[in-house]
Structure 1
Amino acid sequence: LLTELFGELIFGILGNGFIGLVNCIEWAKNGKVSSADLILTGLAMSRIIQLWVILLDLFIMGLFPHLYATRNLTTVMTLLWTLTNHLTTWFATCLSIFYFLKIANFSHFFFIWLKWRVNRGVLGLFLGSFLLLPINLLMQDTVSEWWMNTYGVSERNMTLHLDVNIILYLKIFLLSLTHVIPVLLSLISLLLLFLSLVRHTKNLQLNLTGRDSSTEAHRRAMKMVTSFLLLFTIYIISTLLATWSFMKVQKYQVMMLFIVISTIFPSGHSFILILGNSKLRQIAWRRLRRFQFFERNKTFSFIDII
């Protein structure tokens, strides 16, 4: 499991690093960056930090689990995990909403108003999500402190099992509460994209025209949002199961299995974003062909590939 996890972490860091590097280089060359690229860069950078936090967390739990009985370390790890989880979740949610507002087409005045102010709207949504962060941090810190007190109790204490159950249920409740709003927003975006595609397809049939660029854009956006929702659901479920296995079963290997599954979301989703973005896909393909060329000639360096 450690091999699979390290492989996922490496691929995730490479994939997200590629997204961030390409957009930063383009920003430096042109002096400007699109809103979609800005969201992608923020998502990539926050996921790289999240992957390192996961790696550090596993390292401590595997080799020095007793350190989690100390308040300072528990507070720092809780802060890092909650902050990176918040950033990656909301960056991905804002990306889904951005695709929806840019591609979908409705005649309702509220949608038109949002469409004209898509950049401000997405930015306002992202900044507004930070209003939920202090509440989440406070509740997570309370649960962590409760866990430390329970962790230090003697096994002969009959209240230990009850305390662990309460902590587990609170942890599950907090995770669910943290993710319910992003999931609902992304799901609504997906449903409205589908409705917009249906209406657009009917108009094309009435006008006896075939598939156009708008149809393809709808389909690509729906694939991106669907992949996000699918992987995000797997991430939530596996994170909850990892918490359950750590507190109830207390089997490191079982917890590791669920964490490996959960890491598919921050690692694998980056490659879906690359394949779904024409610019990133073309650059990745050119870099891959250049790497293969230098590999055949056995004379290459990292600078040459870039």
Structure 2
Amino acid sequence: MFMGLDEVFLILSIVEFLVGILGNVFIGTVNCYEWVKNHKISLADFILTCLALSRIMQLVVYLFQSFLMGPGAHIYLTYKLGRLFSLLWRVAIHLTTWLATCLSIFYLLKIAQFSHSFFLWLKWRMNRVVLMTLVSSLAILIFDLLLLERLFISDYILDGSNLTSHPTERKTSQVNTLIILSMTYFIPFLLSLTSLVLLFLSLVRHTRNLQRNSMASRDSSTEAHKRAMKILLSFLLLSVVHFISTQLAIWLFSVLWRDMFVRFLVLVMYVLPTGHSFILILGNKKLGQAVLKVYGILKAY
């Protein structure tokens, strides 16, 4: 039978999973429909679609992890399942993080206004910069997977049907590998954070100029920029919270697998792939219009 804590944890995990799936499936469906209808897709919509698909994968991995931390915790102790889960977890985190980074860079180069020559050089090559960032991330993913494979090889030595571990040698190798894995996750986070902060500062400056020139705080363009700044701040907050919770989880999973604090971290980790999908819907005109159409259809019934 489930313990009380297991029940609460699994219910919250399932609720966050379903809400996140709803938002990301909606984004993917709308963009794929437009792609089929128009026989073309913009770079931003392509990244959004890939991000939605990767976050669906991420949410599935998180839900699987939640069940393993509940009544099925003993299953994780098997070597093959632990190895498979760790690889899927890393791939999902990597793809969603780098795709979100590419999206942040794209919006920075497309919307922000800076006079620095280097920024203008990047802006003129916007599509190429975003695509190169995405391709580079795949090389880092291969490096990450090789590191994980090395971690599992050093963690366990297969001897027939038995698994024997060497704690002293394993601990040093594990710490070194985890440090490198944390650094590879820090790179896209830093790029995304820098892009979002620069875009936010550009919007703040542009909003002040609009208010100064129009002399009307309710100017429609000013309100649009203020709404964009609120969306950016929300994403910034979600990104920071997700980065901290993920880093803590990476270091604590192997030690405190079923600890209450680790479960709380897992619930926090659901927030970014769930919440950011709705932030994207609110901030994207096409997706917002699609929501109104769906709402109108449902209201008619």
Report the TM-score when normalising by structure 2: 0.81
Identical counterparts, % of pairs: 48
Does structure 1 retain, via aligned residues, the 8 Å contact 2:203–2:229? no
Distance 2:242 2:85 in 1: 19
Larger deviation, residues 162-171 vs 40-49: 162-171
Equivalent residue number for residue 230 of structure 1: 237
Q: What's the CA shift for 1:172?
A: 5.0
Decide which of 132, 135, 142 is 2:143's aligned counterpart. 135
Greater displacement, 1-10 / 246-255: 246-255
CA offsets 1:233-261 (integer angstroms, 9 cap, x no match)? 22232234444554333425543332111
- 8 A contact 2:10–2:66 mirrored in 1: no
Change in Cα spacing, 1:210 to 1:176, as seen in structure 2 (3 Å) is: farther
Instruction: Quote how far apart the aligned CAs of 1:116 are.
Output: 2.1
Match of 1:272 in 2: 279
Write the distance in 2 (CA, Å) between the matches of 1:281 and 1:56: 31
> Kindly tell me: are residues 288 and 166 of structure 1, through their superposed partners in 2, closer, same or farther at Cα, counting changes over 3 Å?
farther
Q: 1:141 to 1:210 in 2, by over 3 A?
A: farther
Do the aligned residues in 1 keep the contact of 2:59 with 2:273 (CA within 8 Å)?
Answer: yes
1:258 has 2:258 as partner: no
Q: Which residue of 2 aligns with 1:65?
A: 74
Q: What does 1:9-88 correspond to in 2, within 5 Å?
A: 9-62=17-70, 63=72, 65-70=74-79, 72-88=80-96
- Give, in angstroms, the shift of residue 274 of structure 1: 0.7
Cα distance in structure 2, aligned partners of 1:144 and 1:66: 17
Provide closer, same or farther for how the CA distance between residues 171 and 137 of structure 1 changes in structure 2, counting only shifts above 3 A. same
Q: 1:27 to 1:51 in 2, by over 3 A?
A: same
CA distance in 2, matches of 1:104, 1:261: 31
Deviation at 1:163, TM superposition (A): 7.1
Contact 1:106 1:112 in 2 (8 A): yes
The CA distance in 2 between the partners of 1:166 and 1:60, in whole Å, is 27
Q: Secondary structure of the equivalent of 1:248?
A: coil
The answer to whether the 8 A contact 1:20-1:44 is kept is: yes
Task: Assess if the C-alpha contact under 8 Å between 1:232 and 1:265 holds in 2.
Answer: yes
CA distance in 2, matches of 1:3, 1:85: 23
Please tell me whether residue 177 in structure 1 is matched to residue 183 in structure 2: yes
1:191 aligned onto 2:200: no
Cα drift, residue 187 of structure 1 = 2.2
Alpha-carbon deviation of 1:148?
A: 4.4
Residue aligning to 1:304? none
1:8 aligns to 2:13 (yes or no): no
Give, in whole Å, the separation in 2 of the partners of 1:290 and 1:98: 33
Cα RMSD for the two superposed structures: 3.0
105, 121, 124: which one pairs with 1:116?
Answer: 124
CA distance in 2, matches of 1:28, 1:15: 20
Q: Residue deviations 1:136-169, cap 9 Å, x none?
A: 11222223344446x9559xxxx75x67865774
Report matched runs for 1:143-222 at 5 Å.
Answer: 143-148=151-156, 160=167, 166=172, 169-170=175-176, 173-201=179-207, 203-204=209-210, 207=213, 218-222=225-229
Structure 1-normalised TM-score? Answer: 0.80
Q: Which amino acid aligns with 1:189?
A: S
Letter in 1 for 2:203: L
Q: Which runs of 5+ in 2 are unaligned?
A: 1-8
The answer to whether the 8 Å contact 2:75/2:81 transfers is no
Deviation at 1:208, TM superposition (A): 5.4
> Is the contact between residue 27 and residue 33 of structure 1 (CA under 8 Å) also seen in structure 2?
yes
How far apart, CA to CA, are the structure 1 residues paired with 2:93 and 2:121?
Answer: 31
Supply the AA of the counterpart residue of 2:130. V
Deviation at 1:77, TM superposition (A): 2.3
Counterpart CA distance in 1 for 2:39 and 2:88 is 32
Greater alpha carbon shift after TM alignment, 72-81 vs 163-172: 163-172
Range 42-51 or range 251-260, more displaced: 251-260
Match of 2:4 in 1: none
